[in-house]
Structure 1
């Protein structure tokens, strides 16, 4: 059984910036070195690596640069940011089955100074796979950026449930408030008000600039090993109580517009599996890290994961519920809107800090943390726990 068998024992990251000044391979290696140092292991202990299909640094290159002698396991996950939690799932499955003993999940990129995901990308519509074929149907009609595709979904959500731009803005305000007290965040010391959100320029209606995550340079790495071994290492372990992937009916990458469900049912698949594996319920989650590349999807995730009913997320967050002191503080590091956009991997690191009790915005009495990966795409999620599965 996967639940409780493995844990995240170490976390590491580079600084987050708009121009790193070094290669993506170097960033990844630095993050892995930091994660290993965090838990007291060395490259010779590592026998597995996992990352995103989009990552430019191959496992063997990372292994060579680190001096990892042999790899018994390596794996890559598709679908962009939807891969984040699934890299940990893959590592946990390898550890739980004895395929590997110590697996490092890593992601490093120069997404601001190099290839910018937020701009129109011809490569996305010409890649030699069916994702490229799907994109080729939408890109010629102007749906050539992530913001453009999310705006379509956001507008329909507003139409169906009466949500407003101010509702989306409350997510941005919460994230930036948390980032303001996080020295590692790009927007450290720079909170925003709802009025400032509303005054920010329109990117693609109804999304304002402050509804959109950053483009960042940086890297994050996570060390996964058995829960038993992790308990003997330098840091308190974040036990993997559940790990899941999900794809919904009639699924596309960012353009699943023609199904009847206005939400993001792939996240519903993930949520049901997380609750099944962990034997927990939404009421037993003290804090969550919800993938926030665009604010509307945070509201939809709250609904799909069962924290509130369909169309009820605007009311759920209206009274500060997602801020520190609220009933479900989210993205206490500042999220991808406030800390950095490292494809969701920095959110997993923050979940580990919450379990350890070492976050700069620590939530009281944390036992279980929910983490999600990219939305609008086939996705993944985790429940990390202080004491493991029931």
Structure 2
């Protein structure tokens, strides 16, 4: 879309925090409303002026109902990204930006909420595992990602240390985040390595959490960004989709060990922003499990592939203050909390707007990578005012 780069911005973020799964006293819509109201407060926006709603991954809180509960003046845009589970996380931001850029809406709330009281157990995974999986004893997302991760290790030669580095980086950053479910939960090499298997080669600390909660961000035009409080996080570029031979092909993908970010899609991300992977200052990488996150980092050209990935993907290099590519700086899905990855959006934006528990000094470009190894994948690049 012509002129898309920097034409929209995120001007507010809000979240409810994380509850242990099944313990939220609020329903999913109540959590979503709370998150949107807090995003409006952060932006200094009247909630009634929100005129668009976008979510993903089977969110049960329909935009029309949320708009009615907020008492908005008019709902001009309401949609949900299909498929891919957490792969739709960045796609939802891109969809909101497209709506604003094209004039279909002026202020779009992007949100995701989960409450097992409302949605039931593992609502985010319903419908993803068909009969062919079940017939062969594959009943959980961990098993699917374990198969792909094992191939990544055995055939591509990526060392297991790369997976460990992703996990430990999340727990390291969670130490400075009192809102993180993993706050105060120290995970070192010995504890990581001795933790129980979930689905080999994935240990306990290779796996994301599962929580109740909600978060939301507000997307507006760049021209209106100055009408809101705080520093805007400009949307520089966004991509989503899947190449032929990927999508819902049930383990027959040609590029089986990738995260699904095919070269043409990744190139569109960089060319749309007019930058390259070396210019990324900080990244929030969706880690349903560490293996897919490692594959996604490689797919984006942020790390070399194969054995050389072990030299780049180290705890030191992935942490704030010491690393060239700090990731999951609030703890990520693994250590901060998991509401289908929406917390990664909040943290990607806060690295530009301020408010991160582990801010990257002078961060200008913040990358968000949506759910890897999902049928649909997506990414978004955010930039500071200096980048536009």
Structure-2-length-normalised TM-score: 0.93
Offset of residue 345 of structure 1: 1.3
- The residue aligned with 1:52 is 56
* Deviations 1:25-80 (CA, angstroms, capped at 9, x unpaired): 10011001111111011122111111115011111111121111311111110121
Distance in 1 between the 2:93 and 2:99 partners? 10
- The residue aligned with 2:31 is 27
Offset of residue 16 of structure 1: 0.4
Distance in 2 between the 1:265 and 1:384 partners? 21
- The residue aligned with 1:128 is none
Structure-1-length-normalised TM-score: 0.92
- Aligned with 1:161: secondary structure? coil
- The residue aligned with 2:70 is 66
- The residue aligned with 2:377 is 379
Equivalent of 1:321 in 308, 317, 323: 317
C-alpha change, 1:208 and 1:8, in structure 2 (3 Å) is same
C-alpha change, 1:249 and 1:313, in structure 2 (3 Å) is farther
- The residue aligned with 1:272 is 267
Matched, 1:116 2:121: yes
* Deviations 1:243-282 (CA, angstroms, capped at 9, x unpaired): 1113123113594444145312335444222101000111
Distance in 2 between the 1:113 and 1:190 partners? 29
C-alpha change, 1:380 and 1:202, in structure 2 (3 Å) is same
C-alpha change, 1:254 and 1:328, in structure 2 (3 Å) is farther
Offset of residue 118 of structure 1: 9.1
- The residue aligned with 1:176 is 171
Distance in 1 between the 2:148 and 2:116 partners? 24
Distance in 2 between the 1:254 and 1:212 partners? 24
C-alpha change, 1:183 and 1:73, in structure 2 (3 Å) is same
Matched, 1:102 2:99: no
Equivalent of 2:359 in 355, 358, 362: 362
Matched, 1:229 2:227: no
Offset of residue 111 of structure 1: 5.1
Distance in 1 between the 2:249 and 2:210 partners? 18
- The residue aligned with 1:10 is 12
- The residue aligned with 1:334 is 331
Distance in 2 between the 1:258 and 1:87 partners? 25
Matched, 1:137 2:132: yes
Offset of residue 168 of structure 1: 1.3
- The residue aligned with 1:127 is none
Distance in 1 between the 2:223 and 2:341 partners? 27
Are the counterparts in 2 of residues 169 and 197 from structure 1 also a CA contact under 8 Å? yes
Are the counterparts in 2 of residues 267 and 301 from structure 1 also a CA contact under 8 Å? no
- The residue aligned with 1:306 is 301
Are the counterparts in 1 of residues 8 and 100 from structure 2 also a CA contact under 8 Å? yes
* Deviations 1:118-155 (CA, angstroms, capped at 9, x unpaired): 99x7x52xxxxxx67xx222122111100000000011
Equivalent of 1:162 in 141, 149, 157: 157
Superposition RMSD in Å:
2.0
- The residue aligned with 1:84 is 89
Distance in 2 between the 1:112 and 1:192 partners? 30
How many positions carry a matched residue from both structures?
A: 380
C-alpha change, 1:230 and 1:146, in structure 2 (3 Å) is same
